A and B are shown apart, each in its own frame.
Chain A
Amino acid sequence: MAGSATVTLPADEQILITREFDAPKELVYKAWTTPELVKRWWSGERGEVTLAEIDLRVGGAWRYVMVGEGFEVGFHGEYQELVPNERIVSTEVFEGMPDAASVNTLTLTEADGRTLLTILVQHSSKEHRDGHVNSGMEGGLQESLNALERVVRSLG
């Protein structure tokens, strides 16, 4: 197994996700950009992907919808830059928070047949970033965020 994802917060407006895959980058790119393949992985264990639309060209749109137990979440965006098998820059909007678009940069780097995948999520503000982390989740996390706000304030 290639191991689990690593999530870090390099700056107030950013989220960085990294993971290594035991496959060449061409295949990772294919799994990332082919609707019927995206449907098989994008929801993880949290539900089913009921819609995956990908218009893979600069200026083209994408939209994914996931349905889980008692919730439905949709995300969409537009491709800004495409380097096949290496790099995708696209916008992303969580449809529950339509004002908070992020710009996501996916990069694939291959070494010895293995591929390092990184996604840098760049928000326009810390508030939007924190909202993003809350988005594909079931309840309970908002409570944590509220508690966190109190803690941060109390620390001054």
Chain B
Amino acid sequence: MFNAVAEPWRRQILDLLRDGERPVNDLVDLTGLTQPQVSKHLRVLREVGVVDVRDVGRQRLYRINGPALKPIHDWVADYERMWSERFDALDVVLEDLKREHEGDGGNGR
């Protein structure tokens, strides 16, 4: 279940579904993925129980099974946020190092 949710595209799909139910076509438009790709991710998410589906007329609408999902989503998102903060700070350090190396006459290597 962790792995099902941790995959970046699936997390993006889950983020999009957080606002409410959506048909597959919406998700295709919003992610830029192909329909078979979106369908495959949705299938994985349904198998682990974090996404539900219902048929309305000719449309299949997907929605989040909120209570099942939130803890895992938070878990990975928090860890990722911590590393993003670290790496943003590392970007600043690297900019300084690049300037220093250019100051040495461009002989950075």
* Residue B54 lies at the interface, judged by CB distance under 8 Å to chain A: no
How many A residues, CB 8 Å from partner?
Answer: 42
> In the bound complex, do residue A40 and residue B89 qualify as a contact, i.e. CB atoms below 8 Å apart?
yes
Contacts of B101 in A (CB 8 A): 27
Contact of A41 among B75, B79, B92 (CB under 8 A): B92
For B79, give the chain A residue with the smallest CB separation.
A133
Which of A15-23, A54-62, A86-94, A96-104 is the contact stretch? A15-23
Q: Which residues of A contact B76 (CB under 8 A)?
A: 7, 9, 133
- Residue among A30, A40, A46, A148 making CB contact with B82, cutoff 8 Å: A46
Give the number of A-B contacts (CB < 8 Å).
119
Residues in B neighbouring A42, C-beta threshold 8 A? 86, 89
Query: Interface of chain A, helix or strand or loop or mixed?
Result: mixed
Question: Is A136 positioned at the interface, with any CB of B under 8 Å from its CB?
Answer: yes
Give bound CA distance, A46 to B83, whole Å: 11
**Contact across chains for A41 and B74 when beta carbons are under 8 A apart:** no
Which 9 residue pairs are nearest across A and B when measured between Cβ atoms? A44-B85, A41-B89, A5-B83, A148-B71, A4-B84, A23-B94, A144-B71, A41-B90, A7-B80
Given contacts A11-B3, A12-B2, A141-B78, 19 further A-B contacts (CB under 8 A): A2-B91, A5-B83, A6-B8, A7-B6, A7-B80, A7-B83, A21-B87, A22-B94, A23-B94, A23-B95, A28-B90, A37-B93, A41-B93, A133-B78, A141-B75, A151-B72, A152-B1, A155-B48, A155-B49
